Amino acid sequence: MARFGLVLVVAISLTIALFPDTTTAQLKPKFYGNSCPNVESIVRTVVNQKVKETFVTIPATLRLFFHDCFVNGCDASVLIQSTPNNKAEKDHPDNVSLAGDGFDVVIKAKKALDAIPSCKNKISCADILTLATRDVVVAAGGPSYTVELGRFDGLVSTAKSVDGNLPGPNDKVDKLNALFAKNKLTQEDMIALSAAHTVGFAHCSKVFNRIYNFNRTHSVDPTLNKAYAKELQAACPKKVDPRIAINIDPVSPRKFDNIYFKNLQQGKGLFTSDQVLFTDGRSRPTVDAWAKNSAAFNKAFVTAMTKLGRVGVKTRRNGNIRRDCGAFN
């Protein structure tokens, strides 16, 4: 390292001169236009193949991207494997174990890119995950959109950094708004991104409280549609393996659409954090508007995803391009 010291200093000052210190300045759709002009089609081919093999790739990739950006910025820190000396983000108890197919799609896309000499080790893992996320949305029938590129991969990933940064299934609107605001996202962004649950699934353990022991006076959460509560009890009997998975959108679980909002109007939000978007008067008008108008929802979703993709972006100064997405260089 020492013998590169001078080169490094020169490189850093050059970088500072070329890249002003704003996190979004470096992002642009054609960031790899010279080095790897086909990056988008290469990633898309891998994503579509993987989606054909397992649908779960879609929610898994969305969840991974969301988790990555909310914890320490969109810098692929979530992809890092723990080592004996470091418990990484992905092994926090709010784990992304569900997201195995999301990890896999990034690793496969990276491999496909590395097979092309001009792309090899040129595309950040953070950008691969961002592209793959857009591609799974499209694969599920959601809106397509331009992805800004130029994120660098983070140099830190700790389980501790996850604490208190991810929304949970029992969160109410105030808490949700506060967590999103930390990432410069508005209540509208929060509602639009929550709708990614249109293709999500959950484990029975996460809804037991709403269908069996809500509180002292109500065993079932009274904001839950009664017929839907019965369906959930049938799918998740008290003694079921808590890892059994159920769809979050009971109507069109494999389609990215605005039915999520129609479900909320009928009391069919799986989590408290879904249903409160309708029961809370502050967010209800947006839920009602997007239940009626899917184009308006799509537009808001694209805006929110683009803003999410700008959170905590790393530059050449505090990031690099990982050779292996699961390990620091």
The answer to the question of whether 40 is labelled as a binding residue is no
The answer to the question of whether 59 is labelled as a binding residue is no
The answer to the question of whether 188 is labelled as a binding residue is no
Q: Which two tokens stand for residue 136?
A: 């799974």
The answer to the question of whether 92 is labelled as a binding residue is no
- Closest distance to ligand NAG from the beta carbon of 94 (Å): 5
Whichever of 283 and 315 has its CB closer to ligand NAG, that residue is 283
> Binding residues for ligand NAG, per CB under 6 A?
93-95, 97, 215-218, 222
Residue 62's nearest CA partner among 165, 139, 172 is 139
- Closest distance to ligand NAG from the beta carbon of 223 (Å): 7
Whichever of 243 and 255 has its CB closer to ligand NAG, that residue is 243
In angstroms, rounded to a whole number, what is the distance separating the alpha carbons of residues 188 and 285? 10
Whichever of 141 and 222 has its CB closer to ligand NAG, that residue is 222
- Closest distance to ligand NAG from the beta carbon of 59 (Å): 14
Q: What is the DSSP string of 202-244?
A: EEGGGTHHHHT-SSSS-SS-TTS-HHHHHHHHHHS-TTS-TT-
In angstroms, rounded to a whole number, what is the distance separating the alpha carbons of residues 327 and 72? 16
- Closest distance to ligand NAG from the beta carbon of 168 (Å): 8
203 is catalytic: no
In angstroms, rounded to a whole number, what is the distance separating the alpha carbons of residues 208 and 175? 21
Whichever of 213 and 329 has its CB closer to ligand NAG, that residue is 213
Give the Cβ contact number of residue 144 at 10 Å. 11
CB neighbour burial string for 254-285, b if at least 16 within 10 angstroms, e if fewer: eebbbbbbbbbeebbbbbbbbbbbbbbeebbe
The answer to the question of whether 144 is labelled as a binding residue is no
Q: Can you say which residues are annotated as belonging to the binding site for substrate?
A: 167
Q: Can you say which residues are annotated as belonging to the binding site for Ca(2+)?
A: 68, 71, 73, 75, 77, 89, 198, 249, 257
**Residues with catalytic function:** 67
Q: Can you say which residues are annotated as belonging to the binding site?
A: 68, 71, 73, 75, 77, 89, 167, 197-198, 249, 257
